[in-house]
Amino acid sequence: MLVLTRKIGQSIKIGDNIEVKIVAIDGDQVKIGIVAPKEVEIYRNEIYESIQKENNIAANTPIDILNKLTKNI
């Protein structure tokens, strides 16, 4: 893991197209701004993990259950 120290208003570049900027610091919370192309998906880690879990459940759902669901739609 790379650990960098930044102050408010400073930023970090990731490749040519992504910039992470420190917007504010309030106690133990840091607000960051992210500038990236629209096609780059950006999620908080807990949301990303939830999406992955739901995708795994959907991928492992038996096909007969999916067929029954689509007939009801």
Q: Going from the first residue of the chain to its last (73 residues), give the mean pLDDT of each consecutive group of 10, the final group possibly shorter.
A: 96 97 96 97 95 87 73 71
- Residue 64 phi, psi dihedral angles, 5° rounding: -65, -35
Both tokens assigned to 73:
């739609």
Residue with tokens 């893991």: 1
Query: Under a CB-based contact definition with an 8 Å cutoff, are residues 59 and 47 in contact?
Result: no
Counting every residue written for the chain, the total comes to 73
Task: Specify the DSSP class assigned to residue 67.
Answer: H
pTM of the complete model: 0.70
Total H helices, total E strands in the chain:
2, 3
* R_g over Cα of the chain: 19
